[in-house]
């Protein structure tokens, strides 16, 4: 299976180029691509979220700032420039570090969180043969990398030397570490059934059989557990207790401002995209066209109608699925109240983990029988 790193190395091999420079290029180009994906994702997702929340709350949302409408309040494209303006504002803002804070850790923390999200993208395919680097343990790598961020959160909360931040960090640590277990247990289902840790293998299995969510009732339950758990993992309402605005002011990011805060924001939305991608790839057939699901009893759809497949359309389908899931997460956020800490732990340890464990056993039995 080809990957972007491989194709860069292959295409430069014909030139007389220093191997060291080649390695730098092979690291730099994917890095820039990932950063662009994260930045563009944050810009669009923030705008999307503001508009979604606005329409749910009977408002208009950002309407004033257009791309060409900074001056004179000219309305243009429904405030599409708002997030650009916000990004510029955040970059230009004064960076405040409190006097009593642990300066080194406080500066370090946003980068750890950012790195966690950044590294996950390496193993995350955007479509058929569109991946930075292909691992044979892709799912495992993604689970591992997405839990790096919690270290940064604990550091951020501790080093801020603020009681609210400390509470937020304590809550975040408990919550994110707990919810990794149901996430891993639901992703194990697909590994059990398809026999692949490799993401391409998983999608290959789905294209040969059917979408994994349609595999058995246990797989569908696994999807529900996975999706609810990742909402908790990304700290969004109804599980946003680490940053609980009405309780902890802003939780572990209370003392951050400017660019460092922007990095948190960037990572939060990148994490949303990652978990939506993983859910689409593992449970919803990844870049496979949903048209393949159509199975009419008296009419055989010819293969030539399936032109909406392939690499380019794969990107399209994957993004459509991811955007629908992201929309659901926003929908949760703007309609649900927040759970309390102990209730959150109750949901995880007493409901999700037993069910996910039972799921693993039951789906194995299902596989044995059918």
Distance between CA atoms of residues 275 and 296, nearest Å: 32
Instruction: Tell me how far, at minimum, the Cβ of 339 lies from other proteins, in Å.
Output: 6
Alpha helices in 66-162 (DSSP H): 82-92, 103-120, 138-146, 149-159
311 near other proteins (CB under 8 A): no
Pair 168, 152: CB distance under 8 Å: no
Query: What phi and psi values does residue 85 have, to the nearest 5 degrees?
Result: -60, -40
367 near other proteins (CB under 8 A): no
Cβ burial, residue 366 (10 Å; 0-12/13-18/19+): middle
Residue from 141, 158, 167, 265 binding other proteins (CB under 8 A): 167
Which residues have C-beta within 8 Å of that of residue 177, sequence separation ≥ 6?
A: 147, 150
Options 38-46, 196-204, 241-249, 281-289: segment touching other proteins (CB under 8 A): 241-249
366 near other proteins (CB under 8 A): no
336 near other proteins (CB under 8 A): yes
Report the residue count for the chain: 370
- Residue 125 carries which DSSP code? -
Q: How many CB atoms lie within 10 A of CB 187?
A: 23
Residue from 245, 307, 324, 351 binding other proteins (CB under 8 A): 245
Options 175-183, 198-206, 232-240, 359-367: segment touching other proteins (CB under 8 A): 232-240
| Cis-peptide, bond into residue 238, ω within 30° of zero | yes
126 near other proteins (CB under 8 A): no
Instruction: Tell me how far, at minimum, the Cβ of 58 lies from other proteins, in Å.
Output: 6
Nearer to other proteins, 136 or 343 (CB): 343
Which residues have C-beta within 8 Å of that of residue 70, sequence separation ≥ 6?
A: 81, 85
Nearer to other proteins, 102 or 247 (CB): 247
Nearer to other proteins, 139 or 166 (CB): 166
Nearer to other proteins, 247 or 367 (CB): 247
Instruction: Tell me how far, at minimum, the Cβ of 230 lies from other proteins, in Å.
Output: 18
Q: How many CB atoms lie within 10 A of CB 354?
A: 11
Residue from 89, 136, 335, 365 binding other proteins (CB under 8 A): 335
Residue from 37, 341, 360, 362 binding other proteins (CB under 8 A): 341
Nearer to other proteins, 175 or 194 (CB): 175
75 near other proteins (CB under 8 A): no
Options 28-36, 49-57, 132-140, 225-233: segment touching other proteins (CB under 8 A): 49-57
Return the ∠ at Cα 144 (arms to 351 and 113), rounded to 5°: 100
Residues that bind other proteins (CB under 8 A): 53, 56-59, 163, 167, 237-238, 240-241, 244-249, 334-343
């Amino acid at each position: 299976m080809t990957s972007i790193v491989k194709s860069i190395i292959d295409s430069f091999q014909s030139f007389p180029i220093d191997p060291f420079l080649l390695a730098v290029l092979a690291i730099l180009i994917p890095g820039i691509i990932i950063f662009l994906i994260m930045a563009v994702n944050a810009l669009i997702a923030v705008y999307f979220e503001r508009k979604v929340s606005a329409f749910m709350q009977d408002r208009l949302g950002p309407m004033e700032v257009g791309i060409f409408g900074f001056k004179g309040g000219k309305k243009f494209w429904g405030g599409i420039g708002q997030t650009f303006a916000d990004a510029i504002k955040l970059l230009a803002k004064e960076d405040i570090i409190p006097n009593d804070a642990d300066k080194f850790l406080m500066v370090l923390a946003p980068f750890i969180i950012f790195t966690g999200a950044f590294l996950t993208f390496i193993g995350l395919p955007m479509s058929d043969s569109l991946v930075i680097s292909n691992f044979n343990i892709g799912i495992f790598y993604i689970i591992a990398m997405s839990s790096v961020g919690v270290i940064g959160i604990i550091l951020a909360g501790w080093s801020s030397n603020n009681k609210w931040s400390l509470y937020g960090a304590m809550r975040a640590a408990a919550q994110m570490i707990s919810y990794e277990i149901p996430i891993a247990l639901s992703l194990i289902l697909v590994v059990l059934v398809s026999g692949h840790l490799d993401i391409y293998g998983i999608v290959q299995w789905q294209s040969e059989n059917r979408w994994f969510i349609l595999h058995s009732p246990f797989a569908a339950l696994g999807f529900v557990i996975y999706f609810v758990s990742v909402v908790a993992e990304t700290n969004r309402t109804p599980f946003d207790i680490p940053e609980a605005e009405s309780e902890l002011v802003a939780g572990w990011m209370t003392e951050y401002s400017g660019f460092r805060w922007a990095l948190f924001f960037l990572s939060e939305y990148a994490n949303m995209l990652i978990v939506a991608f993983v859910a689409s790839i593992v449970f919803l057939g990844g870049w496979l066209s949903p048209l393949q699901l159509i199975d009419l009893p008296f009419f055989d759809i010819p293969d030539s109608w399936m032109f909406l497949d392939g690499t380019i359309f794969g990107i399209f389908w994957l993004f459509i699925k991811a955007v629908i899931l992201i929309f659901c997460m926003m929908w949760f956020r703007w309609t649900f109240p927040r759970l309390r800490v102990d209730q959150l732990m109750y949901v995880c340890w007493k409901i999700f983990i037993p069910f996910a464990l039972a799921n693993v056993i039951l789906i194995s039995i299902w596989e044995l029988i059918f």
